[in-house]
Amino acid sequence: MKPKSIQRFDMLFPLAALLALASAILSFGALEAQVQIGFNADGEGARGMAIWMVIASLFIFTLLAGILWATISFMRMGFMRWVLAAAVLLALYQNLMAFRVVGPSFAGFVDLAATLAGIVAVLLLFRPDSSAWFAEKPDGRFEP
C-alpha cells in the first residue's frame, strides 16, 4: 500500500502537468512566434513548421512527465525524485525569468501555479513516510 504522501503526489503531479500544458496552450501563439523567429524565415511553410515544433514539444513534455510519474509512483525509483526536483527548480527559475522579461500574463500565472503544484508534489516525495516507502525492497519493482 502506498503511503499518504505518495497518494497525494499521485494527485498533485498530474495536476501540475495539466496546468503546465494549459499554460502552453494559452501561450501557443507566442511559442509559435518564438520558434518562427528561430527559423529566421517568413511564410506559411515556416509557420507550419513552427506549429509542428510546438506540438512536438508539448508531446515530448507529456511523455517525459508520464515517465517521471511512472518511475516514481509505480516503479519506486527513489533517485528519480531528485531528477524531478531539479526539473521543478529549473521550471521555477524559468518562471521568474519570464516574469522579469515578458511581464505578468494569465498564461504566466497558470505556469507559476503549475510550478508551485510541482514544488508541493516534490516536497511530498521527501517526507519520512515516502522515504521509507522508497527504501523498502518490494517483491517486484512495480506497484499499482
> pLDDT class for 142, splitting at 50, 70, 90?
low
Helix ranges, the chain (H): 4-26, 28-39, 44-73, 80-101, 106-125, 128-135
CB neighbours of residue 102 within 10 Å: 12
Residue 140 has pLDDT above 70, yes or no: no
Domain definitions of the chain by residue range: 4-135
Residue 35 has pLDDT above 80, yes or no: no
On whether the CB atoms of residues 119 and 92 are closer than 8 A, the answer is yes
- DSSP character at residue 104: -
On whether the CB atoms of residues 75 and 84 are closer than 8 A, the answer is no
- Cell numbers standing for residue 119: 514544488
On whether the CB atoms of residues 39 and 49 are closer than 8 A, the answer is yes
- Cell numbers standing for residue 112: 507559476
Whole-prediction pTM value? Answer: 0.83
Residue of 36 and 114 predicted with greater confidence: 114
**Which is it for the CA torsion 70, 72, 73, 76, positive or negative?**
positive
What's the pLDDT at 137? Answer: 75
